[in-house]
Amino acid sequence: MFSMQSSLFNDIRYHQYYLQFPNGHYNHTINDFRKFPGITNIFEFEKWFARNFPRIMLLSNEYWHYSVYISAIYLIIIQILIRLMKSTMNYQNGFQLKHQLIIWNLIMTIFSLIASIRCLPEFVFVLKNYGFIYSYTQNTYGKDIRLCIWYLFFTLSKVPELIDTIFIVLRKRPLRKLHWIHHTLTLIYSWFVFGDVPSTARWMVNMNLIVHTLMYSYYALTSMGYRLPRPVNITLTSMQIIQMLFGFYIHLDCLRRKIFGQPCDVSLAVAITGFSLYTLFFLMFLDFFIRTYVFKHNKINKNDQRTKSSTNNNNNNNESFSELSTTEKKIS
């Protein structure tokens, strides 16, 4: 029992990878990129980030709490825009913003796709060669500086993703609590855990990139005027629920491992916050799915049945009236 408590108190925030950063040592990366799966080269812009990465890591840990300020400003701006749109009679139906929306969704699709091409090969390689448990308990992705850079881009991308809400409000579309809660908490959590180099990031980043590539592609097509079948909507929401379910299980198992002193490259703080976050997201997305695609679908079916029943009754009444009129004509 003593060893369990000792391991917990010695793991307040960061594990061994972070301990090198305060002294400016970040030498566990391997520069021979042929040893890693996927593209074997490093791009010029990646080289700049690679040279400055120790400083970037220190800054990310020192200023991660700015994500809270950004989220607060975001929520205030959204509330102001909602009130302005309600009070402005000239824009009762909201702004169209069709071309802007198409461009925005295409930008986010391209970013998610490029990031997926960079990150997915390592994810698949680890799953195939080392197994499921290894994939979320060992942060060996940190040896490839290019992956660390793209995980950084992924973390920073949570800020421009807030623009999604601006489009919803300006176009006067329904703004659900799930939307802004998901955006703000994901932003704060991503910035909080990035400097920890957690092993769970491998799953969190790659799952999110896959879903976002498909999701923003769907938004781009619909904003162009294409109407995709209803099963596409259901599939995308189902993928998000599965993403949250995996996140819930992975952080739950990591939390169990930290409590019992088993090896896992995640700090206790990250395991607790990740478990709490994905539990909340899983329940909220499941609730949204049930309300949108189960209860609403049943309600539509009932309304259709009532409409058909009413139509049949009217047809029967019309037929009876027609027969009565014909009889009267024959009698006369």
Q: Mind listing the pLDDT tens digit of every residue in the chain (332 residues)?
A: 334 444 444 444 444 444 444 444 455 566 677 778 877 888 888 989 988 888 888 888 889 999 999 999 999 999 999 998 888 766 667 888 999 999 999 999 999 999 999 999 999 999 999 999 999 999 889 888 899 999 999 999 999 999 999 999 999 998 999 999 999 999 999 999 998 889 999 999 999 999 999 999 999 999 999 999 989 989 999 999 999 999 999 999 999 998 888 888 888 889 999 999 999 999 999 998 899 888 765 555 555 555 555 545 555 444 443 443 443 333 33
Ramachandran region, residue 293 (left: φ > 0; alpha: ψ -120 to 50; beta: rest): alpha
Residue 265 in domain: yes
Is residue 315 domain-resident? no
Determine the Cα–Cα distance for residues 240 and 276; give it in Å rounded to an integer. 17
Q: What is the pLDDT of residue 15?
A: 47
Domain that holds residue 124: 2-301
Can you give the pLDDT at residue 28?
56
Q: Is residue 209 part of a domain?
A: yes
Could you tell me where the DSSP H helices lie in the chain? 2-9, 44-51, 53-62, 66-87, 98-130, 132-137, 145-156, 163-170, 177-194, 201-223, 230-259, 268-289, 296-331
CA angle 200, 214, 137 (to 5 degrees): 10
pTM for this prediction: 0.81
Q: What does the pLDDT read at residue 82?
A: 92
What's the number of domains the chain is made of? 1
Judge whether 321 lies within some domain. Answer: no
Do the domain assignments include residue 212? yes
Q: What share of the chain is helix, strand, coil (3-state, %, to 5)?
A: 80, 0, 20
Cβ–Cβ < 8 Å for 46, 119: no
81 within domain boundaries: yes
Report yes or no on 327 lying in a domain. no
- Among 251, 15, 209, smallest CA distance to 122 is for 209
Question: By CB neighbour count within 10 A (0-12 exposed, 13-18 middle, 19+ buried), where does 25 fall?
Answer: exposed
pLDDT at residue 109 in the model: 97
- Residue 318, domain member (yes or no): no
